[in-house]
């Protein structure tokens, strides 16, 4: 009998090439499933490819045969890695293949704000031809300063693109990134210095105990009134209530957000009433090419685990533990 692989995505969201790759050696089962069907499937599954589902003791209790939790993405704040490690379950991510897509989306948000693209679209549809009011001016990116908080895989690609726009680059990270310093003339600074001096502040840190609420009222107050905040990392990195207040009171010029405290963001959330925000539904990696590459990477990791081999894209916390055993 073939091993079973549970995929927490609808079949049409998981690329056909990855389905074919898995189908050769496993039975692959997709959402949507009823609660009963899910419990039946997960009880028999050797591998789980997961989106944003919480993987904790409760989930693992239902999944006694699991060898691997393969995240379809790179953030793994929804996975209790320690609980998986205790049970000998690998946790993997899909690094690098999505960095460019998220960096491009970061610039989609930045340019939407600085060139007022959403507002301009509404103006063309309802006002331009009336000739009553001129469209307000935007601001240049060339010569402006971008502050990158978290300059890892995605942050580095944001730096590369910002360099192309001839922006000055500041970054803040727990670890120095000499490559972005050398290649893109980026400068490592303290968080406060970055907030005070940037025209665009963009977040690319993982959600951890140290980064939860990293941008709150105090940090927003340090930013320039003309500055924009971009968040494509994780919602809870920003205190969303403090951000809503800062945007209402004009303490900063605007925000571009792909991630939220609660997803989907409720329709009555006060952020949705503001004009100086551009909001997208957690689609940083959402391109055809990138989602295919992510599906192939997740499938590859699963195939390793099913063959009894250590998968290539273990989360850092597990590298020591499992690589030592080989």
Catalytic residues: 234, 263, 282
Of 1, 129, 137, 175, the residue at the interface with ligand NAD (CB under 6 A) is 175
Residue 285 interacting with ligand NAD (CB under 6 A): yes
Binder among 45, 145, 233, 318 for ligand NAD (CB under 6 A): 233
Task: Single out the segment in contact with ligand NAD by CB under 6 A; choices: 26-34, 109-117, 150-158, 303-311.
Answer: 150-158
Nearest residue to ligand NAD on Cβ basis: 152
Closer to ligand NAD at the Cβ: 132 or 209?
A: 209
Burial of 126 (0-12, 13-18, 19+ CB in 10 A): exposed
Determine which residue in the list 3, 147, 254, 284 makes contact with ligand NAD, applying CB under 6 A. Answer: 284
Binding-site residue total for ligand NAD (CB under 6 A)? Answer: 31
211 binds ligand NAD (CB under 6 A): yes
Give the one residue of 204, 251, 291, 297 binding ligand NAD; rule: CB under 6 A: 204
Spatial separation of the C-alpha atoms in residues 58 and 62, rounded to whole Å:
7
The least CB distance from residue 233 to ligand NAD, in Å, is 4
151 binds ligand NAD (CB under 6 A): yes
For residue 126, the minimal CB distance to ligand NAD (Å) is 31
* Rounded Cα–Cα distance for residues 197 and 177 (Å): 20
Assess 116 for contact with ligand NAD (CB under 6 A): no
**Shortest Å distance, C-beta 55 to ligand NAD:** 15
- Identify which range of 18-26, 46-54, 56-64, 282-290 contacts ligand NAD by CB under 6 A: 282-290
Is residue 206 within the footprint of ligand NAD (CB under 6 A)?
yes
Residue 223, C-beta contacts closer than 8 angstroms, at least 6 positions apart: 195, 196, 198, 201, 229, 251, 252
d(C-alpha 252, C-alpha 154), whole Å: 24
**Per-residue binding letters, 66-105, with ligand NAD (x by CB under 6 A):** -------xxx-------------------x--xx--x---
CB 187 within 8 A of CB 170: yes
Shortest distance in whole angstroms from residue 324 CB to ligand NAD: 22
What's the closest the beta carbon of residue 155 comes to ligand NAD, in angstroms? 6
* Interaction of residue 272 with ligand NAD, rule CB under 6 A: no
Tokens of 26: 């496993």
- 148 is an interface residue for ligand NAD by CB under 6 A: no
The residues of the shown chain that bind ligand NAD, judged by CB under 6 A, are 73-75, 95, 98-99, 102, 150-155, 173-175, 204-208, 210-211, 232-234, 258-259, 282, 284-285
């Amino acid at each position: 009998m073939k091993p079973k692989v549970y995929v927490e995505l609808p079949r049409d969201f998981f690329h056909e090439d990855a389905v074919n790759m898995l189908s050769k050696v496993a039975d692959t089962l997709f959402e949507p499933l009823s609660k009963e069907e899910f419990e039946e499937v997960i009880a028999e599954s050797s591998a789980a490819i997961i989106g944003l589902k919480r993987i904790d003791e409760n989930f693992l209790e239902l999944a006694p045969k699991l060898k691997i939790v393969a995240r379809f993405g790179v953030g793994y704040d929804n996975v209790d890695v320690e609980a998986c490690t205790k049970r000998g379950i690998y946790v993997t991510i899909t690094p690098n293949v999505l960095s460019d897509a998220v960096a491009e989306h970061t610039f989609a948000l930045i340019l939407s704000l600085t060139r007022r693209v959403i507002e301009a679209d509404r103006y063309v549809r309802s006002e331009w031809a009336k000739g009553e009011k001129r469209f307000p001016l935007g601001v240049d990116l060339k010569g402006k300063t971008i502050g990158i908080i978290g300059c890892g895989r995605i942050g580095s690609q944001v730096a590369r693109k910002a360099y192309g726009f001839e922006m000055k680059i500041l970054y803040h990270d727990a670890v120095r990134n000499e490559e972005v310093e050398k290649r893109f003339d980026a400068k490592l600074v303290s968080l406060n210095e970055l907030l005070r001096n940037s025209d665009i502040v963009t977040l690319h840190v993982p959600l951890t105990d140290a980064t939860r609420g990293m941008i709150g009222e105090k940090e927003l107050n340090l930013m320039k009134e003309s500055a924009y905040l971009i968040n494509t990392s994780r919602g809870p990195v920003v205190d969303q209530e403090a951000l809503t207040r800062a945007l209402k009171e004009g303490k900063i010029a605007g925000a571009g957000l792909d991630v939220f405290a609660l997803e989907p963001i409720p329709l009555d959330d006060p952020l949705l009433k503001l004009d100086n925000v551009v909001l997208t539904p957690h689609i940083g990696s959402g391109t055809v090419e990138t989602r295919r590459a992510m599906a192939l990477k997740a499938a590859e990791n699963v195939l390793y685990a099913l063959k009894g081999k250590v998968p290539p894209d273990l989360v850092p916390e597990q590298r020591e533990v499992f690589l030592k055993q080989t």
